Amino acid sequence: MVVFVEENIEELLESARATWKEPIVQEFLKKTRMAELVKVIGENFKVWPDDFIRSIDKSMKSYANCWAAASKAHSESGLYKKIVEAADIKSGLTVDLGCGSGGLLAELPDGWVGVDINNYSLQAAEQFVKSRGKSVERFSRSHISFDPESGFILKPHPYLLETDFKKNILLADDLRTFQNTIRLLYNQGVKADTATFTMWGGFSNYLGIEFIDWIAKAWGKKEDNSLLLPERVLEYGPKICRQGGRLVFAVRTCKFEGPENLYAYDRKGRRIDVAEGLRSASRSGEEMIEKYKHLYELEDKGEIPVTVDENKFGLNVYPQAADYSQQETKELLDQVGIKNLPVAVRIYVLKVK
């Protein structure tokens, strides 16, 4: 069991309190429902930033805990090892985006950077890779900032590190902006050989077929905002990887069998949206069938491309890797009360032009 130390919370609280006093924050609050709440609750509402931080902190901690357990299961089943072998990562600098509890990092050759926004996950990753006898240095501070569009946001502390990458690094960063990762790499005048983005989405289900369609669109720079993080990885991948470097996606996929598989069900049979934040999972089945009709037909005929021109859209599918995770993931999902969710993992390797 991973034990987390609350080393960052005071810092978060302090930054949130400082932000709270900013006039633009007060202006923002006036425009939102918060202002009404102030009227109702009165002066007591001033404690809000503290509560807000504690709630963020709690959810981060619980996510890190859950994912550490799932990741441990994946790791023990050999899934991460299989991913590293299948993607042929033997040497060079690898940046693992959204590294979570470090399952993949433990299997990578030395000289990697693990990136995640959750400082508790980074702590878990540190413990995990150290237990595998690897040395690592962690930079995981964050603060609370404010954006008038989206309100309060968790921001990683900006690090401008001098390192020769002999040491493995765990770095706090927001994958919506990639600021710290870029700072770290550019300050050293290097680019990564490989960027990995594996097992994204935690416990959520995902439609592999939609992913293929989407990735083809995104790689061709067509707009599709349905999936923020993979889109950002595709956008920033070429910035952080050298020319000829690779982007490795390992995606949890849900093989489409019928409209009922678009949703998971809790023990009482109620439909729940397990892919919180993923619009793809909350669309209706009929809509999905209509949208991806052509792809389903192709898949039925076995005509989904396995390898396309690498420079343009390098897609490799390794179905063997899928077999490893399926059983474990099913068990895990059973534990949290989700059924009817056949899960597999597919690996996509894209070459940076």
Partner 1 sequence: MPVEYNMKFEESFFWDYLNMKKEASDLGDEDYERSLDERLAKDPSNISLHISKSMIYQSSDPEKSLQVLEAGEKSCGRHYKFPHSKAMLLAKKGDFEKAIEFLYEAVKLEPCAKETLYTLGTLLKRVKRYDEALKVWDEVIKLDSEDPMAWHGRSSIEFYTKDLEKALKHINAALWCLDEKTVIWQHISTGSTFVKEKSLRGVRAGYLANRALIKLGMGDYSGAADDYESIMRDFPDEAGSAWRDEAMKLGGKDYGKGASVFLERLLEAEPDDEKSVMIYAVLAGSFAVQKKPMSEWIVSVGKVMNKSRSPVATLDRLAIYLMRMGAVEPALEVYKELVDRYGERLHAVNVCQIAQAMGDKSTYQKYEKLQDKKAMSKANKVFINPGKVEVGRNALCPCGSGKKFKKCCGKT
- Which segments of 32-118 does DSSP mark as H helices, in order? 33-41, 48-77, 79-86
The number of residues in the chain equals 353
Among 183, 217, 255, 283, binds partner 1 (CB under 8 A): 183
Among 147, 257, 297, 334, binds partner 1 (CB under 8 A): 147
The Cβ-side half-sphere exposure at 285, using a 13 Å CA radius, reads 10
Per rule CB under 8 A, is residue 62 in the interface with partner 1? no
Of 16-24, 57-65, 245-253, 337-345, which part binds partner 1 (CB under 8 A)? 16-24
Radius of gyration of the chain (CA): 21
Contact 104, 96 (CB under 8 A): yes
CB 125 within 8 A of CB 224: no
Closest CA to 255 of 320, 177, 344: 344
179 forms part of the interface with partner 1 (CB under 8 A): yes
Which region among 103-111, 126-134, 152-160, 206-214 touches partner 1 (by CB under 8 A)? 152-160
Q: What are phi and psi for residue 2, nearest 5 degrees?
A: -85, 135
Interface with partner 1 by CB under 8 A: which range of 91-99, 107-115, 179-187, 250-258? 179-187
187, two tokens: 């300050």
142 contacts partner 1 (rule: CB under 8 A)? no
Take residue 288 and report the two structure tokens written for it.
Answer: 């999905």
Question: Interface with partner 1 includes 165 (CB under 8 A)?
Answer: no
Residue 283 C-beta: closest distance to partner 1, Å: 31
Structure tokens at 145: 């900032």
In sequence order, the 6+-apart residues with CB closer than 8 A to the CB of 142 are 8, 11, 12, 117, 119, 154, 155, 156, 157, 172
The count of chain residues that interact with partner 1, using the rule CB under 8 A, is 26
| Number of alpha carbons in the 13 Å side-chain half-sphere of residue 116 | 29
75 interacts with partner 1 by CB under 8 A: no
Query: Which residue of 8, 15, 101, 123 would you call a contact of partner 1, by CB under 8 A?
Result: 15
CA distances from 350 to 40, 51, 64, 87 (A): 53, 43, 29, 10
Which residue's structure tokens are 């990639």?
Answer: 178
Q: Interface residues for partner 1 in 206-225 (CB under 8 A)?
A: none
- Among positions 118, 180, 196, 205, the unique one binding partner 1 when judged by CB under 8 A: 180
Asked if 186 interacts with partner 1 (CB under 8 A), we say yes
Asked if 22 is part of the footprint of partner 1 (rule: CB under 8 A), the reply reads yes
**Smallest distance, Å, CB 239 to partner 1?**
7
Which structure tokens are listed for 106? 């433990």
Q: Show contacts with partner 1 in window 231-270 (CB under 8 A).
A: 239
Instruction: Report the nearest approach of partner 1 to the CB of residue 28 (Å).
Output: 9
| Three-class DSSP category at 272 | strand
Q: Is 32 in the site for partner 1 (CB under 8 A)?
A: no
Q: Among 148, 259, 277, 319, which residue sits at the site for partner 1 (rule: CB under 8 A)?
A: 148
Q: Which is nearer to partner 1, 182 or 289 (CB)?
A: 182
**CB under 8 A: which stretch of 57-65, 83-91, 148-156, 334-342 binds partner 1?**
148-156
For the bound state, the minimum distance from the C-beta of residue 170 to partner 1, rounded and expressed in Å, comes to: 18
Nearest distance in Å: CB 18, partner 1: 8
CA distance 255 to 80: 21
C-alpha distances in Å from residue 76, one per residue of 64, 80, 263: 18, 9, 28
Residues binding partner 1 (CB under 8 A): 15, 18-19, 22, 24-25, 143, 145-149, 155, 158, 160, 178-180, 182-183, 186-189, 191, 239
